[in-house]
């Protein structure tokens, strides 16, 4: 199932892009900041749990310096 970007006027979805998609934070205060910055009044009534479960923002809406890129390696013995 594809993820759709929740930013206004953004039509990106995960199946059409190699961009990362980020869940809204579970922390209620940080989540409210994301909703304010997203400028979507329809998201204001939703809980941080609902937003975390059902809504994403694509990487285009973040400053690249704000995104941590780490590689996790799995070692086989």
Per-residue pLDDT of the chain (77 residues; tens, 9 = 90+): 678 999 999 999 888 768 889 999 999 999 999 999 999 999 999 999 999 999 999 989 988 877 777 655 555 54
The structure tokens 């009044």 sit at 41
Residues 55 and 43 sit within 8 Å (Cβ to Cβ): yes
Give the count of domains, the chain: 1
pLDDT of residue 73: 58
Q: Which residues share a beta bridge with 51?
A: none
Q: Is 23 exposed, middle or buried (0-12, 13-18, 19+ CB in 10 A)?
A: middle
pTM comes to: 0.78
pLDDT of residue 76: 55
Question: CA–CA separation, 62 vs 38, rounded Å?
Answer: 11
What domain range includes position 46? 1-77
Count, in order, helices (H) and strands (E) of the chain: 2, 2
The residues, any chain, with a CB within 8 Å of residue 60's CB and separated by 6 or more, are 5, 7, 10, 12, 19
């Amino acid at each position: 199932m594809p993820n759709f970007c929740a930013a206004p006027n953004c039509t990106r979805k995960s199946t059409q892009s190699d961009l990362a998609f980020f869940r809204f934070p579970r922390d209620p205060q940080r989540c409210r900041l994301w909703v304010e910055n997203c400028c979507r009044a329809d998201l204001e009534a939703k809980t941080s749990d609902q937003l975390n479960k059902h809504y994403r923002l694509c990487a285009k809406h973040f400053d690249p310096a704000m995104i941590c890129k780490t590689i996790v390696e799995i070692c086989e013995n």
